[in-house]
Amino acid sequence: MFDVKTVKLEWGGKTLTLETGRIARQADGAVLATYGETVVLCAVTAAKSVKEGQDFFPLTVHYQEKFFAAGRIPGGFFKRERGATEKETLVSRLIDRPVRPLFPEGFYNEINVIAHVLSYDGETEPDIVAMIAASAALTISGLPFMGPIGAARVGYVDGEYTLNPSQPVAAAGALDLVVAATGNAVMMVESQARELPEDIMLGAVLFAHDSIKPVVNAIIELAEKAAKEPWQIDLSDNTVDIKAKLKTLIGADIAAAYKLTDKSARSNALNEARAKAKAAYAAEGGQTQAVAGKVVKKLESEIVRGAILKDGQRIDGRTTTQVRPIEAMVGFLPRTHGSALFTRGETQAICTTTLGTKDAEQMIDGLEGLSYSNFMLHYNFPPYSVGEVGRFGAPSRRDTGHGKLAWRALQAVLPSKEDFPYTIRVVSDITESNGSSSMATVCGGALSMMDAGVPLIRPVSGIAMGLILEGSEFSVLSDILGDEDHLGDMDFKVAGTSEGITTMQMDIKIAGITREIFAAALTQAKEGRAHILGEMTKALGTARTELSAHAPRIESIQIDKSKIREVIGTGGKVIREIVAETGAKVDIDDEGLIKISSSDPAQIEAAKAWILGIVEEAEVGKVYDGKVVNIVDFGAFVNFMGGKDGLVHVSEMRNERVEKPTDVVAEGQAVKVKVLEIDPRGKVRLSMRLVDQETGAEMEDTRPPREPREPRGDRPGGDRGDRRGPRGDRGGRDGGRGPRREGGERAPREEGGNPDHMPAFLKADD
């Protein structure tokens, strides 16, 4: 029934298995990839024809994690997988970015790539497995895919590169890097690092590429066994004549437009040239007019790229290494906890930082289980930032990806939770965009956090690099414009501190780049980052020492774990009372670390004093503030240390005689008490008469001392032993029972005893 084809490979200490022919046989290509005990199914389908008028490549990648893969049921109200999570969106982009450039220009059939995580072993990360499965499915599908690609994760632990470490191992190390590559060249890089130098990062990319080559060979082996017949597609270039005509018609106009440094003026000039081309082919209409529009774009690319390679002349007149003018300012908004306005050329971002308490942490429900994050970064790209009318609403995949890139750049320099126990949210609103708004987010985000008083280890800057490659001739561009990104061959973003790189992301629009180009781009990016960092320092060099007046304050107290129950109280009664009375938020963990937060320092001090009173041990001779909580006939119980009560006997209320406690105190009354005694059972005896109730000062004991009791032996009747007399003769405990019988039994009671209270065994003897 099944025609199963399988390829196996020992890779990174585990077996990688690629299988096709058993599952999803109606798809154009379907591969079940297993690595360790993590299993991913990827199915590829493609439309057999192109929609009329379509002039772009509609590739869509969907990556989905099934909760059953980890033996879990989704949390929340809806108990099924719903819209894509942030991680699923990021992995979908991770698959899309290296695959898209490997389809030929002019191929516009719609393609769906859908990857399902079916099993997750808790160690082998499914994103790498999904990328390999997608590449294999595309390779055997018969589509004009110029792959295959492989993928690998690289960690850096104790000075050594590790292949495909688990997420906890990668997080504990200094590097988490993902690379996708063909057998000949690197296609995509995604990483986060802890201030690593350029040579370590380059070495990691090369290590990954070497490790990927066996995977590429395994996919080729599978294709040799199971690939479908390749699609017959006519992709011949029949636009030579059209290009020549358009070059004569509008070539000079395009060249003149790209010499304008202002984006709006340049855009208007280009639109006029495009309108002239459209008018020239208006009579022919239909397909010919659409082809002419595509040729105009090619003509623009050739003119811009040629000027850069031949003359080193960029669109806005800069040199290849020059960064656009930068202006940064902090404290931009009056009520936010921290804010910054970062402008670089025609790219601008308003970045804000908000500080919160532990209950503001983000809960993440994934295959690994529930986890919590105390650092969030959200990126927004409204259409007005590029002077357009367009979609506005929920974040797009691009928004999610750019925000995560900036998050990776900044997370490496955050203080520890112990040093700065706040939840941090950074929001970047792009208000102008002409190239690398994600790197503007990195710069503005760092400044806004320092403005909020977040003690970053070091400030972070970022830069976007471009590439123009023609044959063996290439030029690396620093701080690329939007048009240079669209018309160039590479988008390479690097962010880091003065000490090293914290994140690196590279996307290639051609079939990979060489080590020489990669090294040159890293070196040039380092120089650009240093320049940008210097401009940022002019606005704010280090974090502010004081938080904003509008930010919550958090103070931590460490108590003994044995005291946690006393602070919380039965059913949370005590901690709820502390929060209600003081107005401060109180969080306590299983280790006894208590975090008290409020924007009012007085509330924090009140809650802190209350908690310390609960956990503090009472000290004999010390005076405390207390409150009467219960009155009884013989005195009053006073709460004097949060959860501790003591008794003020009626004789200790005043120096003179007190008939009733209610003559002196009432329930709820505030009093000052002195600890007289703590018995071995923890019972506390208190005194009010020895404390000035107005000032709290200790008072001398003016009550005359009691006369000492005479020794028992001097009292009438002799000492206790004399009173008893001979044990057998006394009428006390033995009750005149008489001498014992032989063997220890007592003789029967004599007359005058109390038979009604005799033990049963004596009654029986009677």
**Better-predicted residue by pLDDT, 45 or 263:** 45
Per-residue pLDDT tens over the stretch 414-436: 999 888 989 999 999 999 999 89
Give the model's pLDDT for residue 765. 42
Give the model's pLDDT for residue 703. 76
Mean pLDDT in residue range 603-616: 88
Whose tokens are 């024809």? That residue is: 49
Report the DSSP pairing between strands 423-432 and 375-380: parallel
Judge if 553-615 and 623-687 fold alike in CATH terms: no
Q: Are 684 and 645 spatial neighbours (Cβ–Cβ below 8 Å)? A: yes
Least confident of 204-208, 559-563, 573-577, 733-737: 733-737
Per-residue pLDDT tens over the stretch 306-347: 888 887 778 888 889 999 999 999 999 999 999 999 999 999
- Which contiguous run of DSSP H or E holds residue 449? helix 437-451
What is the C-alpha R_g of the chain?
40
Task: Copy the structure tokens of residue 330.
Answer: 């902090």
Give the model's pLDDT for residue 78. 81
Give the model's pLDDT for residue 77. 78
Q: What is the average pLDDT score of the chain? A: 87
Q: What is the band of 290 on the pLDDT scale with cuts at 50, 70, 90?
A: low
Give the model's pLDDT for residue 759. 44
Give the model's pLDDT for residue 285. 57
Q: What is the band of 55 on the pLDDT scale with cuts at 50, 70, 90?
A: confident
**Better-predicted residue by pLDDT, 283 or 164:** 164
Reply yes or no on whether the pLDDT at 237 is more than 70.
no
Report the DSSP pairing between strands 326-330 and 175-181: unpaired
Task: Copy the structure tokens of residue 127.
Answer: 């994103």
Q: Among 371, 373, 375, 387, which residue's Cα sits nearest to residue 411?
A: 375
Q: What is the band of 238 on the pLDDT scale with cuts at 50, 70, 90?
A: low
User: Which of 107-116, 602-611, 637-646, 691-700 has the largest mean confidence?
Assistant: 107-116
**Topology classification of domain 5-226:** Ribosomal Protein S5; domain 2 (3.30.230)
Q: What is the band of 470 on the pLDDT scale with cuts at 50, 70, 90?
A: confident
Burial class of residue 541, CB neighbours in 10 A (0-12, 13-18, 19+)? exposed
Spatial distance between the Cα atoms of 134 and 97, rounded to a whole number of angstroms: 12
**530: how many CB neighbours lie within 10 A of its CB?**
13
**Better-predicted residue by pLDDT, 318 or 218:** 218
Give the model's pLDDT for residue 91. 97
Give the model's pLDDT for residue 288. 63
Q: What is the band of 749 on the pLDDT scale with cuts at 50, 70, 90?
A: very low
**Residue range 326-539 in CATH 3.40.50.720:** no
All structural domains of the chain with their residue ranges: 5-226, 240-311, 326-539, 553-615, 623-687, 712-765
Q: Among 3.20.20.80, 3.40.190.10, 3.30.1370.10, 3.40.1050.10, what is the CATH number of 553-615?
A: 3.30.1370.10
**Topology classification of domain 240-311:** Arc Repressor Mutant, subunit A (1.10.10)
Give the model's pLDDT for residue 747. 45
Give the model's pLDDT for residue 432. 95
Q: Among 385, 355, 368, which residue's Cα sits nearest to residue 38?
A: 368
**Better-predicted residue by pLDDT, 716 or 12:** 12
Spatial distance between the Cα atoms of 65 and 86, rounded to a whole number of angstroms: 11
Question: Rounded to whole angstroms, what are the CA distances from 358 to 374, 430, 547, 579, 760?
Answer: 7, 28, 17, 15, 68
Percent of the chain's residues with pLDDT above 70: 90
> What is the distance between the terminal CA atoms of the chain, rounded to a whole angstrom?
99
Q: Are 191 and 408 spatial neighbours (Cβ–Cβ below 8 Å)? A: yes
Per-residue pLDDT tens over the stretch 260-271: 878 888 888 888
**Better-predicted residue by pLDDT, 766 or 194:** 194
Give the model's pLDDT for residue 643. 65
Q: Are 443 and 453 spatial neighbours (Cβ–Cβ below 8 Å)? A: no
Mean pLDDT in residue range 643-659: 88
**Better-predicted residue by pLDDT, 419 or 510:** 419
Angle of helix 126-140 relative to helix 86-99, nearest 10 degrees, comes to 40
Reply yes or no on whether the pLDDT at 735 is more than 60.
no
Reply yes or no on whether the pLDDT at 81 is more than 90.
no
Per-residue pLDDT tens over the stretch 521-536: 999 999 999 999 999 9
Give the model's pLDDT for residue 284. 63
The dotted CATH code for 623-687 is: 2.40.50.140
Q: What is the band of 738 on the pLDDT scale with cuts at 50, 70, 90?
A: very low
Percent of the chain's residues with pLDDT above 90: 56
Reply yes or no on whether the pLDDT at 668 is more than 50.
yes
Q: Are 156 and 173 spatial neighbours (Cβ–Cβ below 8 Å)? A: yes
